[in-house]
Amino acid sequence: MSKRIVVDPITRIEGHLRAEVIVGDDGIVEDAFVSSTLWRGLEVIAKGRDPRDVPLIMQRICGVCTYSHYLKSTMAVEDALGIKIPYNAELVRTLMNASLFLHDHVIHFYHLHGVDWIDIVSALDADVEKASKLAFKYSDNPINTGENDLKKVKETVAKFANGPQGMGPFANAYWGHETYKLTPEQNLIGLAHYLKALEMQRMIAQMMAIFGGKNPHPQV
């Protein structure tokens, strides 16, 4: 008999998402459904408003890809009213979009997606010296993977993993599962990057703040 598997909440995304998968006896997926479990009605709210206010409302669709919806909604209003924007406006929009692009990739790659393939627990078994050397295989200028850096990363996480309070946001995951393909050394490098990226994203966000006043949700 086929089984129905529900994954809800899907975490490390913006918003609320549910996936249902029907799996047959042979382990083959027969059918799958995905639904977004939140509706806010921003399109209804936009109706009848001052068109200049609408992009600010639409920006609130997402605070992770903040600015995307603001930009496109502004363009939609301009399109409807036949407005041509000055060159400087184009420049500042491009700069802001570029800062979002940089920021969002870092957050998405490491903090949202990363722990699907970086096994944090396995990283604790890594040989620091080996891992530090290995990092040069992937980049001529590896980041946060000197032997001392890696030792510190390992200590931080070991303290955390072995402490009385458990692993907080990393608790109850599939650590050790066969679908995690990386070696302990590779996992440690990934973990070092995860931590460094928390610092980097904060700096990258400053770039948007320079052009747009703040981040998330620039300009206002």
Within 23-52, the residues that bind another protein by CB under 8 A are: 37-42, 44-45, 48-52
Q: Which of 54, 91, 48 is nearest to 69 (CA)?
A: 54
Q: Which of 63, 59, 98 is nearest to 75 (CA)?
A: 59
Please state, in angstroms and rounded to a whole number, the distance separating the CA atoms of residues 150 and 145: 5
User: 107 and 201 in contact (C-beta within 8 Å)?
Assistant: yes
User: 158 and 201 in contact (C-beta within 8 Å)?
Assistant: no
Q: Is 176 in the site for another protein (CB under 8 A)?
A: no
Residue selected from 15, 32, 91, 147 as contacting another protein according to rule CB under 8 A = 15
Of 70-78, 137-145, 185-193, 206-214, the segment contacting another protein by CB under 8 A is 206-214
Q: Is 219 in the site for another protein (CB under 8 A)?
A: yes
Q: Is 182 in the site for another protein (CB under 8 A)?
A: no
Interface with another protein in residues 77-136 (CB under 8 A):
86, 107, 111-112, 115, 120
Q: Is 67 in the site for another protein (CB under 8 A)?
A: no
Residue selected from 128, 134, 192, 205 as contacting another protein according to rule CB under 8 A = 205
Residue selected from 22, 75, 124, 165 as contacting another protein according to rule CB under 8 A = 165
Residue 52, number of CB atoms within 10 A of its CB: 9
User: 191 and 118 in contact (C-beta within 8 Å)?
Assistant: yes
